[in-house]
Amino acid sequence: MHKTKFKKIVKEWNAATIGEVWEGVRDNFLFGFIGATLVVFIATRTDIAVLIGYFTYYFFMGRIVNRPKYVTDLGKLVVFPIPSALGAFSGYKLSLTLITWMTHS
């Protein structure tokens, strides 16, 4: 990353509130998490998990689609991709545990 782009991101970080950044990180992490678990639920053919996953995913999709678009480099290069990827990986890793919990409860 170029030094000027990094400085721009730092400036945008300083201009943002912790609440704004946290909301974006939280929403993007959950979006990645839900999407990844849904893929595993489908692959394992766990019907109840797929149904719950679809409901959760599409209810949450309404929040994602109706929020303002990221216009800063902080949003585009940090707040969106990093939490989304971490959420997706976490969802992938925890989905089998969730399936076990759902089917044995």
Helix, strand, coil content of the chain in percent (nearest 5)? 85, 0, 15
Q: What is the pTM of this model?
A: 0.88
State yes or no: pLDDT of 105 exceeds 80: no
Which is it for the CA torsion 19, 23, 26, 28, positive or negative? Answer: negative
pLDDT in tens, 51-84: 999 999 999 999 999 999 999 999 999 999 999 9
| Domain spans of the chain, in order of start | 28-103
